[in-house]
Amino acid sequence: MEADFVIVGAGSAGCAMAYRLSQDGRHSVVVIEHGGSDAGPLIQMPGALSYPMNMARYDWGYRTEPEPHLGNRVLATPRGKVIGGSSSINGMVFVRGHAKDFDHWAESGARGWGYADVLPYFKRMETWDDAGHGGDPAWRGSDGPLNVTRGRRENPLFHAFVEAGRQAGYRVTQDYNGEQQEGFGPMEHTIHRGQRCSSARAYLRPA
């Protein structure tokens, strides 16, 4: 087998690289992955999310060193050993890194890594949809491969939770991945049409 590019690991980054490198139709790409297939309901069904992250078939089984500030407990640190990597076993909650973290990187010498630099890539990555409504185009993407959605929020406890945060003195935000990142508001997830939208589904399958 010959290819223009060989990618080792079909995790979140490997899937995205395969998609982008083969996008122009001129290059062939081979992706090598130690783990197995991501097919099956335990990965694809969002409600089963606690199973794959606790199965040796899908998870590398990493543990932390004893944590001195947590009574020396050893904590589980799930990492995906499967097509799609950790995006195939995580909780599907979509949260961008905080803008000030990126700006701190740039101020510390990582030129090109400020939030203004990475924001176009966050937007390029996603198709953001909230019950048929697009987001602010200054902050959100509308034609990327990764589907980012919100739950229906029909349960009255959702609104009560956000209101409780407001009454406790916290800010409320309509989009924590948009202009105002801090505050209580609707959660976003990588779920599309009732299925997990992992990097494998968003990037590798189309490639």
Task: Please tell me the predicted confidence (pLDDT) of residue 134.
Answer: 76
Enumerate the CATH 1.10.1220.110 domain ranges in the chain, comma separated. 94-189
Token readout for 140 is 């959100």
Residues 66-79 have a mean pLDDT of 96
Residues 4-25 have a mean pLDDT of 96
Report the predicted TM-score, pTM, of the whole model to 2 decimal places.
0.90
- Give the pLDDT band (50/70/90) at residue 1: confident
Measured from the Cβ of residue 125, the count of other Cβ atoms closer than 10 Å reads: 18
Residue pair 63/77 in contact by the 8 Å Cβ criterion = yes
Residues 47-75 have a mean pLDDT of 96
Out of 3.10.20.600, 2.30.33.40, 4.10.450.10, 1.10.150.120, the CATH code matching 1-92+193-207 is: 4.10.450.10
Enumerate the CATH 4.10.450.10 domain ranges in the chain, comma separated. 1-92+193-207
- Alpha-carbon torsion, ordered 178, 100, 172, 48, to 10 deg: 70
User: What would the pLDDT profile of 113-162 be if each residue is shown by its tens digit?
Assistant: 999 999 999 999 999 988 777 789 999 999 999 999 998 889 999 999 99
- Give the pLDDT band (50/70/90) at residue 28: very high
Assigned fold of 94-189: Arc Repressor Mutant (1.10.1220)
Token readout for 26 is 């001129």
User: What would the pLDDT profile of 88-121 be if each residue is shown by its tens digit?
Assistant: 999 999 999 999 999 999 999 999 999 999 999 9
Token readout for 37 is 């297939």
Burial of 137 (0-12, 13-18, 19+ CB in 10 A): exposed
Task: Please tell me the predicted confidence (pLDDT) of residue 93.
Answer: 96
User: What kind and span of H or E run contains 30?
Assistant: strand 29-32
